[in-house]
Structure 1
Amino acid sequence: MESHREPTLADVAQAAGVSLTTVSRVLNNRGYLSQETRERVAEAIAELNYRPNQIARALHGKSTQSIGLIVPTVALPFFGELTEHVEDFLADRGYRTFVCNSMGKADREQEYLDLLLSHRVDGIISSAHNDGLADYRSIHLPVVSVDRDLSPTVPNVRCDNEAGGRIAAEHLLKRGARRPALLTSRTGTHNLREKGYRQVLQQADIEPVVLTVDFNTPDAERPGLIRERLELVADDVDAVFATDDLTAAQVVEWVEDQGLRVPEDFKVIGFDGTVAMRRALPALTTIQQPIARLARAAVNLLLDQIDSMASASSGDRDSERREKHLRSPSPMGVRLLPGRTT
């Protein structure tokens, strides 16, 4: 009866006619070995379809060449595009990516965090949007966040959200809006897009109108809640700055349902500027984030941390190097993409 067990290192050694030590040296590219020996081992690996046990490698202090990426959901254009770039940049550096969709649930994010740790990933990039998870502060693993403040010890790669908020509000006023509202997920001091919006309206002596629909609202409920919020202020505002493009698209739909013209009667501007949304709604005016640059910066920062820890030796020099990799980089610039909705 044919065996269906996974081939082992010993099987590879036997098939190649070499010792276990030689196979290990080939896999880890250590020590001098003839090209003939390397080829024999490579042929045996291919013939047996041998796959190194990555968790076993981690238990021996070796890299698993894997990274965990936690996002709310790749169904949202920003996170889908971010995921694509992160996975691509990691692959170029020889790393596999475990993509985890938290679906806006704190317990699911916690489960994925535990899963990634149990699989001994070399590091984690997180852009999920759940507050209050303390584990990121306590795990002894390189972590980088994208547009999320996890803790003072976790670098946060982000665009200049405050500048983006100012650009959006200034553009609406320049295009003739008299009282633009902000439609966002959560209001407060942490919302830098809101901060930029408020700065511009304060300078123009206009009372801000801030509407919220929580980021983790189920998709089926979101359009109705957006309409409810807009109908409450329909007589008071003539423009909306939505802090993501999907919400901006739903605002445009609501405006047209009211029998109003965009942009003559009502102006709309979004935020993100993903490829998917620009294809689906090319007329939308939006603030574009440099998503590919954000992804590359997050990957580089994380891999720098991993390399630093792997090659670390005792002494102040090592401490300084680690501290450098724990600093958040400066926010990246955004740009206005004009469209026909303003």
Structure 2
Amino acid sequence: MAANKEPRLGDVAARAGVSVATVSRVLNNRGYLSEATRARVMAAIDEVGYQPNEVARSLLSHRTGTVGLIVPSVAIPFFGEVAVHIEDALAQHGLRPLLCNSYGRADRERDLLRSLVGHRVDGIISGAHNDQLAEYATLRRPVVTIDRELAPHIPNVRADNEEGGRLATQLLLDHGARRPVLLTSRSHERNLRERGYRGVLAEAAIEPLVVAVDFNLPEPERTTAIMAALDSVSATMDAVFCTDDLLAATALEWAHRHRRDVPGDVRVVGFDGTATMRRILPGLTTIAQPIADMCSTAVRLLVEQIGQEPGAEPTPVPAIALPVTVVEGRTA
């Protein structure tokens, strides 16, 4: 074999002293072969430096070994950590992610879905934050979501957001707050963190105070909007429950600019508890999501779907809500 020639299947067969068909059966794990034959073929593959044609193998097996992962942006610490844990969990099943950033745009997410289907991914994990997309309901691929409700038959793995909202709000009240404001990305009945906040305040006979700044606003507009939102309630609020840690970081900056002592004048609690934010703001009191467990659970559910025969009628599945943890800091 010439030094500059790419090794081929026949080269492996010649080195191992077997037929090309036998090498193909070893590579595709088909049919009975003795362990000695398998070992001889695998040794020959290493010796000649043969690289299997993954495209051809995927056409034969109808699997590509890839999974689409759609997130708003890995620049956001929570989704960056999700991407890392998803990749690690997929690798344990011999799968690889195709990472896609939707940047909060529904049209981009639709394009990504079409592209992933065109690349024949084995399944899709979606954590994007766009409103409902009809394309998911008819998608002929296994799908699992992380902290996102798409359709009754699509598994949704999330933290126990309502309990997290309750824990954060109760902590603020226990520490002396009487007018905690909720700072969130979107205020609506499906916002479970908001539901937890409202539930605790209802029990304490305290009027809720909610301000919302769109998650998908670009910077610096988003920071400006958060500052303005907090300005609008500054005369009445004495604490802020932020539904993510980036909001909490901006709330702390707002307090600093207005010379408000934290936690003396205003208390701040965040939500997420990523390793990145805990390094940047080690004193932040927050509600930590079990991100690694969420990701491994999502991958397990997707792998189970991939292994099923297609054609079964979709049936509703309950969301899986994993427990959160209070991380005590110096801000509440």
Structure 2: how far apart are the matches of 1:211 and 1:7? Answer: 63
SS in 1 for 2:159: coil
Counterpart for residue 337 of structure 1? 327
Pair 1:265 & 2:285 matched? no
- In 2, Cα distance between equivalents of 1:176 and 1:155: 39
The 10-residue stretch of structure 1 (129-138 or 35-44) with the greater mean CA deviation from structure 2: 35-44
Q: What residue in structure 2 maps to residue 282 of structure 1?
A: 282
Q: How does 1:135-284 map to 2 (within 5 A)?
A: 135-284=135-284
Aligned pairs, how many?
A: 331
Q: C-alpha displacement at 1:3, in angstroms? A: 11
CA distance, structure 2, for counterparts of residue 7 and residue 123 of structure 1: 32
CA contact (8 A) 1:55 1:120 kept: no
Moved more, 78-87 or 6-15: 6-15
Structure 2 CA distance, aligned partners of 1:269 and 1:232?
19
Counterpart check, 1:90 vs 2:90: yes
Q: Secondary structure at the match of 1:211?
A: strand
CA contact (8 A) 2:104 2:216 kept: yes
Query: Deviation string for 1:276-315 (max 9, x for gaps)?
Result: 1111111111011111110111011111111223xx7x9x
In structure 2, stretches of 5+ residues that fail to align are none
The one-letter code matched in structure 2 to 1:25 is: R
**C-alpha contact 1:283 1:340 (8 A) present in aligned 2:** yes
State the alpha-carbon separation in 2 of the partners of residues 51 and 111 from structure 1: 32
Q: Specify whether residues 336 and 112 from structure 1 end up closer, same or farther in structure 2 by C-alpha distance, changes over 3 A only.
A: same
How much has 1:265 moved relative to structure 2?
Answer: 0.5
Moved more, 197-206 or 153-162: 197-206
Name the CA distance, whole Å, in 1 between partners of 2:91 and 2:18: 31
Distance 1:104 1:50, change over 3 A: farther
CA distance in 2 between counterparts of 1:67 and 1:226 reads 36
What does residue 59 of structure 2 align with? 59
- Structure 1 residues 33 and 123 mapped into 2: Cα distance closer, same or farther (>3 Å)? same
The match for 1:71 is 71
Identical amino acids, percent of aligned pairs: 54
Q: Structure 2: how far apart are the matches of 1:5 and 1:133?
A: 49
Change (3 A) 1:57 1:110: farther
Aligned partners of 1:9 and 1:170: how far apart in 2? 66
> Which one-letter code corresponds to 1:236 in the other structure?
T
Q: Which amino acid aligns with 1:245?
A: D
Q: C-alpha displacement at 1:57, in angstroms?
A: 3.2
CA distance in 2, matches of 1:4, 1:131: 53
Letter in 1 for 2:42: A
Task: Report if the CA contact (8 A) 2:28-2:57 is conserved.
Answer: no
Q: TM-score, normalised by structure 2?
A: 0.91
Counterpart secondary structure, 1:340: coil
* Post-superposition offset of 1:101: 1.4
CA distance in 1 between partners of 2:270 and 2:236 (Å):
20
Unaligned runs of 5+ in 1: none
Measured after TM superposition, the shift of residue 44 of structure 1 is: 4.8
